[in-house]
């Protein structure tokens, strides 16, 4: 099992989009973790709208806290431009990367769409890299999100009471 974490400060924009795209395209054997170091009260409205345009509903998602203990077993931790030092990357066993993306908070929808598209491209490249490194086929990655799985997963997580969102791929 490969664990990938998407982390930002508020878990209300970039990391939410990245985790949603990863869940939508996740190959078998990959677990997605998402959270923020200082979570906001809700996902940014512009992010919800931009993702809805792609058929992914984040309206029921809630930002969650993530700390070093949550990342300890991650193989890859992706921060979104908020400094990987904020999540203590030395305390987990994997690869730390900072994507240095602008925060969509309060930006016009056109800007949020550009950020969304950049995140989707990076997530797809990352998942292809992980699949190749694990000896898997990149054919497991779909060209279109598994929308029903995303909605069902969001509904499951909403009622789970977990500290942070985790998703396991399903066959």
pLDDT in tens, 57-75: 999 999 999 988 888 889 9
Query: Tokens 């598209």 map to which residue?
Result: 117
Of residues 100, 92, 132, 125, the one with CA closest to residue 3: 92
**Which pLDDT score is estimated for 140?**
43
**Cα separations (Å) of 115 from 27, 152, 160?**
23, 25, 29
Tell me what the mean pLDDT of segment 91-120 comes to: 91
**Which pLDDT score is estimated for 147?**
33
Mean pLDDT over the full length of the chain:
80
Confidence band for 117, pLDDT divided at 50, 70 and 90: very high
- Classify domain 2-168 at the CATH topology level: Rossmann fold (3.40.50)
Asked if residue 89 has pLDDT above 90, the reply is no
Asked if residue 79 has pLDDT above 60, the reply is yes
DSSP state of 29: T
Asked if residue 166 has pLDDT above 50, the reply is no
Contact between residue 131 and residue 4 where contact means Cβ atoms under 8 Å apart? no
Tell me what the mean pLDDT of segment 84-112 comes to: 80
**Which pLDDT score is estimated for 94?**
75
For 66, counting Cβ atoms within 10 Å of its Cβ (0-12 exposed, 13-18 middle, 19+ buried), the class is buried
Helix axes 45-52, 109-133, angle to 10 degrees: 70
Of residues 68, 122, 131, the one with CA closest to residue 100: 122
Confidence band for 87, pLDDT divided at 50, 70 and 90: low
Name the residues annotated as catalytic: 8, 82, 88
For 15-35, how does the pLDDT look when each residue is reduced to its tens digit (9 = 90+)?
999 999 999 998 888 999 999
Tell me what the mean pLDDT of segment 38-45 comes to: 96
Each domain of the chain, given as residue ranges in start order, spans 2-168
pTM of this prediction? 0.77
Confidence band for 91, pLDDT divided at 50, 70 and 90: low
């Amino acid at each position: 099992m490969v664990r990938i974490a998407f982390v930002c400060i508020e878990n209300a924009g970039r990391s939410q989009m990245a985790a949603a795209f990863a869940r939508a395209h996740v190959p078998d054997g990959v677990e997605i973790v998402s959270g923020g170091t200082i979570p906001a009260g809700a996902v940014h409205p512009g992010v919800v709208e931009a993702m809805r345009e792609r058929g992914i509903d984040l309206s029921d998602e809630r930002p969650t806290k993530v700390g070093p203990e949550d990342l300890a077993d991650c193989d890859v931790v992706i921060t979104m431009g908020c400094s990987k030092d904020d999540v203590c990357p030395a305390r987990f066993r994997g690869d730390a990367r900072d994507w240095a993306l602008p925060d969509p908070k309060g930006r016009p929808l056109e800007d949020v769409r550009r950020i969304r598209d950049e995140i989707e491209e990076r997530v797809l490249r990352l998942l292809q890299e992980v699949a190749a490194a694990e000896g898997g086929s990149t054919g497991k990655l779909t060209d279109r999100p598994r929308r029903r799985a995303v909605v069902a997963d969001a509904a499951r997580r909403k009622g789970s009471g977990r500290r942070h969102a985790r998703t396991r791929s399903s066959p």
